[in-house]
Structure 1
Amino acid sequence: MFLVQEIKIPYLPCSLLEKQLFQRMLHKILHINQSLMQFLTEKERQADGSWPEIYGEVVELTEENYFFRLSRHQEWLRELIQKQPSLIFPEFRAKELLGALEKPLPDLCISRPKARLAWGIPLPFDENQVTYVWFDALLNYVTGAGSGEGRLGDWEPAVHVIGKDILVPAHGIYWPCMLRALGLPIFAKLLVHGFWTRRNEKLSKSTGNVVDPGELSAKYGADAFRYYVLREMALGHDADFDEGALAARRKGELAHELGNLLQRTGSMIGRYREGRIPVVTTPDPVSEGFRDTVLHSLRKWDELMKSYQIHLALGELWKAVQAANQLIEARAPWKLAKDPAKSGELDATLADAAAALELVLLEAACVIPETAEAGLKQLGYAGKTGAREKDWPSWPTGQGGRLLGDITPLFPILEEEKRAQE
């Protein structure tokens, strides 16, 4: 192996713009090398046998190390991915992995001499060698999942979630081969997510375009921020962050559509039915059509969530919210309340809107947990979130006669929105 002792970078007089570009290049170089030290292999040599100038002085070293026979598992892994490309999500990442497996895999060096790297974790069978950090990091997944306490099976079948930059070779090659060598099941699916960008540039401290989730959560609410990132990103692909879009989704989909639906429904139940959800024994044709629409949206939501298309799933779930708002606009409960002969229609409208809200909030709890809990409390719901009925999705039957709680805004207007209205 070969060791880079230093990186030699010549000084050149340049403009401010050139300096900024140079600083970005330097940051990338240092990011790749982590520190000013890197091990090289023969593949890094140039065609004439020399080392690229960027590596500076390269020193040849000889030392004893332990290796994991990665090559022994290569054919198994390649055949597995060829037969089950859906094991990797999105599937185009499976092609990337297969491309990396076309060439023979070198065996993986898993240790370093303790004399050179004293801070590492000693190998249990050789006190003079410490574990290579990437090998140790991957094994830590197994340890942290409770393998030593017999709890590893509690996690199966497991979906492993990683970023696209650590697919090859660490998590797409080393990791499944290590699990196989240990006699442990590999992931049920390897979910590879993309990067968040800003103005189409990767978020980076060096460019100063980093987004602080804590600040945004404090400003817009954690639920709104979580909803935005899951609604905006097609999982597996990159997505561009836009605070304006976050504010718009909070104000539009969350506050206006969902929050206003609960506010209107709860207020009218309080005004026209003394705060209790009406009892409806026989739904009319309009109710039946509305219920079919909502249940269809829930089935699509479930289907899309199971295929990791979360952004589309949320869109389907919100179709149920929009349908409930349309029902209220179309049937106009404030008009029905003026005609005693329309009492049955009024009951059906209010009960249907409350039931749709309950169904949506129970499902949306995985994305907007605090909002869902608050909304269900306002609806007088005393059950648990996260647990579906055996016949899901089905229309709620136990709502009739339930007393609502205090109705308050789910997403209060922000201070800057107030100022904009002044």
Structure 2
Amino acid sequence: MGEPYYITTAISYPNGKPHIGHAYEAIAADVIARFHRALGRDVFFQTGTDEHGLKMAQKARELGKTPAQLASEMSQYFIDMCAALNVGYDNFQRTTEDRHHRASQEIWRRMEANGDLYLDRYEGWYSVRDEAYYDESELIEGEGGEKLSPQGTPVEWTVEESWFFRLSKYQEPLLALYRDHPAFLKPDSRRNEMIAFVSAGLRDLSVSRTSFDWGVKVPGSEDHVMYVWVDALTNYLTGLGWPDEAEAFSKWWPADLHLIGKDIVRFHTVYWPAFLMSAGLEVPKHVFGHGFLLNRGQKESKSLGNVTDPLALAESFGVDALRYFLMREVAFGQDGSYSPEAIVLRCNAELANSYGNLVQRVSSMIFKNMDGKLATFESRPEDDELHARVATACRNELPREFAALNFSTGIDAWMRAVFACNQYIDEQAPWTLRKTDPERMRAVLLTLYMAIRDLTIAIAPVVPASAARILDQLGIPADERVYAALADAEWYARRVAQGEALAAPSPAFPRLELPSEEATA
């Protein structure tokens, strides 16, 4: 196996069904995981659900259920979402699992042994919805004069005995981390925000609660449960078998990438590295805070009635079309907007009309005019020029941009190669050559066959199911669908030597239509 690569999403809070933001992060992480697998790396991809905390306890009480019942029921929705969106994780970590409780208690003991935990009394503002503590200076005023968190959520004054973590002790180590390892947090705008936040001074953090009991018990203080973020962040260790499975842990840790939303950057790049430093563990290599997806430019909310079920979008437009749109449309790291009209416009223009039509035209002509058979041929300079253009996009430009998480830029380079293929087929006009120069027709079609194979391997992490069908249709073996195969100069000769014939093609990307209610809106 290749070099290990460990990627995680943030674990989702299952007090409601998955929304488009959950789907966006899961799809992006899956694209990254598939991309690194295609590079030959040994990938471990983890996602899961964060099932403890006051918010879950309150929601369960409201529904007349136990928190455990609610957690099991709601977590299944997130498992089903991943299955429906072709998100191929290696581990789905639930925080209610026994092994997770053991891992959380172990990191607590290590922080305590390091002298970083002490018992005191907490008095301050707490947002149940954010599961976060806020300083008075961070609060904003609501329309009715009430105090709100920086995210606009209600806060309540909380007074209770609490264990505290000496977060203030880690101010300088954290600033050194940001300074000496600028790639630790991306995009740069998020890193600058955290530098400003930490530079302003850190207060010790309340890390236990006694007012409810739905959580991980504090070792030696059974009337306390851990602050949900101590427990939640530890999931990244639990999934690797820590602390019991030392070999697996040493293979995968530190994480190569924590992929998270920009609203939880503070927890992952201030609290989490401080906890790890205290426990004597390495910090993650990279944390990336992506932006929000906006519905027609607006944040989704129940009050606006614009909350979108991502599975309904996938049902309407197809899983691969939705995956492609999300990775193509939004500059990763920034906020982006979506709408059914935008999905239809983008996917029809690029997947159906440009790439899908190219695949269909070429495969059909090879099947009809050449009995589907591959052959050797004499290439001309214009054929070699197309090969070079496609090779540059598929071997260099797209992989370079995907490695930097610049998905839209990488797909743009890929689309330019698709356009080059369409321009080539229009200029060479193989339908005319069929009558005037059949030998040249074969050369043109087989040049395009080779280009389509490269284009399809390159884009496969984004549209895996469709790419697999196309590569099956092209007769490409499963073990030759990785990026290393793009540099294999002998692959085509092997296909010819084996005398395989292509089957009748089927459309890879049918044109999309707006659902009737959208079309008449």
Which range, TM-score by smaller chain? 0.7 to 0.9
Residue 197 of structure 2 corresponds to residue 103 of structure 1: no
Matched, 1:346 2:444: no
How far is the alpha carbon of 1:90 from its aligned partner? 1.0
Structure 1: gaps of 5 or more residues = 1-31, 47-51
State whether structure 2 residue 131 is matched by structure 1 residue 34. Answer: no
- 1:410 equivalent to 2:505? Answer no
Query: 1:154-165 counterparts in 2 under 5 A?
Result: 154-156=251-253, 157-165=255-263
1:407 Cα offset (Å): 0.3
Query: In the alignment, which residue of structure 2 is the partner of 1:16?
Result: none
For residue 34 of structure 1, report the CA deviation from its aligned partner. Answer: 2.9
Q: Does 2:379 correspond to 1:294?
A: no
Whether the 8 Å CA contact 2:454–2:486 is kept in 1: the answer is: no
Give the letter aligned to residue 149 of structure 1: E
Query: What is the TM-score with the length of structure 1 in the denominator?
Result: 0.81
Aligned to 1:183: 280
Q: Is residue 233 of structure 1 aligned with residue 330 of structure 2?
A: yes
Report the equivalent of 2:420. Answer: 323
Cα 1:196/1:395, change in 2 over 3 Å: farther
Counterpart of 1:141 in structure 2 is 236
Judging changes above 3 Å, is the alpha-carbon distance between structure 1 residues 101 and 233 closer, same or farther for their aligned structure 2 residues?
same
| Paired position in structure 2 for 1:7 | none
Matched, 1:364 2:459: yes
* Alpha-carbon distance between aligned partners in 1 of 2:286 and 2:204, rounded to the nearest angstrom: 25
Task: Give 1:405 deviation, angstroms.
Answer: 2.1
- Number of the residue aligned with 2:168: 71
Mapping for residues 117-128 of structure 1, pairs under 5 Å: 117-128=212-223
Percent identity over the alignment is 33
Alpha-carbon distance in 2 for matches of 1:241, 1:391: 33
Distance verdict in 2 for CA 1:144–1:192, change over 3 Å? same
More off after superposition, 97-106 vs 384-393: 384-393
Cα deviation for residue 291 of structure 1 reads 0.8
Q: How does 1:7-406 map to 2 (within 5 A)?
A: 33-34=127-128, 43=137, 54=147, 61=159, 63=161, 65-113=162-210, 116-147=211-242, 148-150=244-246, 151-156=248-253, 157-168=255-266, 170-280=267-377, 282-298=378-394, 299-340=396-437, 343=439, 345-384=440-479, 387-389=482-484, 392=487, 396-397=491-492, 398-400=494-496, 401-406=499-504
Aligned length: 376
For normalisation by structure 2, the TM-score amounts to 0.66
What is the CA distance between 1:306 and its match in structure 2? 1.1
Deviation at 1:417, TM superposition (A): 9.5
Cα separation, partners in 2 of 1:39 and 1:107, compared to 1, 3 Å = closer
**After alignment, is 83-92 or 227-236 more displaced?**
83-92
Please state which structure has a larger fraction of its residues in strand: 2
Q: Is the 8 A contact 1:324 1:353 kept in 2?
A: yes
Check whether the contact 1:70–1:106 (CA below 8 A) recurs between aligned residues. yes
8 Å Cα contact 2:291/2:336 also seen in 1: yes
Give how far 1:40 is off.
Answer: 6.7
- For the residues of structure 2 that align with 1:321 and 1:249, how far apart are their CA atoms? 15
Deviation digits for residues 150-193 of structure 1 (CA, Å, limit 9, x no counterpart): 3234434521011111112x112001111222232222211110
Structure 1 residues 242 and 296, CA gap change in structure 2 (3 angstroms): same
Partners of 2:241 and 2:367 lie apart in 1 by 51
Task: Note the C-alpha offset of 1:132.
Answer: 1.3
What SS does the aligned partner of 1:375 have? helix
Shift of 1:42: 5.9
CA distance in 1, matches of 2:202, 2:134: 16
Q: Identify the residue that residue 41 of structure 2 maps to in structure 1.
A: none
What is the alpha-carbon distance in structure 2 between the residues aligned to residue 335 and residue 122 of structure 1?
Answer: 76
Distance 1:348 1:183, change over 3 A: farther
How far did 1:57 drift? 12
Counterpart-to-counterpart distance in 1, 2:169 and 2:130: 33
Question: In 2, are the aligned partners of 1:67 and 1:107 still within 8 Å (CA)?
Answer: yes
One-letter amino acid of the structure 2 residue matched with residue 137 of structure 1: A
What does residue 43 of structure 2 align with? none
The higher-RCO structure (CA 8 Å, 6+ apart) is: 2
CA RMSD, 1 decimal: 3.0
Partner of 1:371, secondary structure, is helix
Secondary structure of 1:406's aligned partner: coil
Gaps of 5+ in 2: 1-125, 149-153
Query: For the residues of structure 2 that align with 1:175 and 1:355, how far apart are their CA atoms?
Result: 48
C-alpha spacing 1:268/1:184, structure 2 compared with 1 (3 Å): same
Q: Secondary structure at the match of 2:289?
A: strand
Whichever residue aligns with residue 180 of structure 1, its letter is M
**CA 1:36/1:252 → structure 2, altered by over 3 Å: closer, same or farther?**
closer
Letter of the structure 1 residue corresponding to residue 375 of structure 2: P
Q: Judge conservation of contact 2:171–2:199 (CA < 8 Å) in 1.
A: no
Q: Structure 1 residues 290 and 245, CA, compared in 2 at 3 Å: closer, same or farther?
A: same
